[in-house]
A and B are shown apart, each in its own frame.
Chain A
Amino acid sequence: MADTVLKNQTSTVPKQAGGPGSALVTDKGTTSIDDVVVAKIAGLAAREVSGVHAMGGGAARALGTMRGMVGAETSVTQGVSVEVGERQAAVDLDLVVEYGIAIPELAAAVRRNVINAIERMCGLEVTEVNIRVDDVNLPGQEEARKKERKKEEPEPEQESRVR
């Protein structure tokens, strides 16, 4: 697929002056950007907005936590999916938001930051950023959950078992 993108761009795509996308096709050669790169930029930009607590649906977050436990860091592309064309991109985001922030305003801020970042960094026009708010983080929720977990599973006596 990547191969065809390169070939198409070199031969058939007409040049267009101005606007995002124009920097990608020049007479000196084309610049093409893989989906994962666009997704990483989107993930980083979304996380920059305060009020975004985490990203990804429940299953993805659970997986991320498991990965976190074995040492790898949570992927920046978690909760992000993109479709990238030659000059345009569309983004879907799954968010967990902090309680107390009006979701329409938060979504607008996320959209602005993600669109600006992708258009500036990748030179692609972003046609849409669809946002799904999958969960909300209530104050005190995390601590209560940890307490609850401790109650259920008392600390294992690690030392004695290891030795």
Chain B
Amino acid sequence: MTDARKIADRARSCPGVAGLSGGPFGVVATYLPGERITGVSVTDDEVDIAIVARLTEPLLEAEPFPETADRLRQAMADLTGDRRVNVRIHDVVEEPR
């Protein structure tokens, strides 16, 4: 299950992603021996990722969340294979461009 860690690293390096988040109550997480990976959970046919999205200004030019999610899926396609990747936008932070 080192997949989860790789997926987390890959997600964090996506431009629209400010960070990973466990969601309320930290439900989205993977537990490895001696380690907890927040914001990613992996099963045989699904990957759940919870992120804090980065919102650039002006609002009118910011990237829509579904597109951010698609970019995430593409960025980790080699790791996730044909599993469905469910992306949850848990929060958003504003950042001037």
Contacts and interface: CB of A to CB of B under 8 A. Distances in A.
A–B touch (CB < 8 A): the answer is yes
Interface of A: 2-3, 6, 9-10, 23-24, 27-34, 36-37, 40-41, 44-45, 48, 76, 117, 120-123
B46 interface: yes
Interface of A is mostly: helix
A122 B84 contact: no
A32 B94 contact: no
Interface string B36-51: 0000000000111000
A48 B86 contact: no
Interface of B: 23-24, 27, 46-48, 53, 55, 59-60, 62, 64-66, 69-70, 73, 84-92, 94
Contacts of B55: 40, 44
Given A37-B65, A37-B92, A2 B27 contact: yes
Nearest to B21: A34
22 contacts: A2-B23, A2-B24, A2-B27, A23-B64, A24-B66, A29-B46, A29-B69, A30-B84, A31-B86, A32-B89, A33-B89, A34-B23, A34-B89, A34-B91, A40-B55, A41-B59, A41-B92, A45-B59, A117-B60, A121-B59, A122-B65, A122-B89
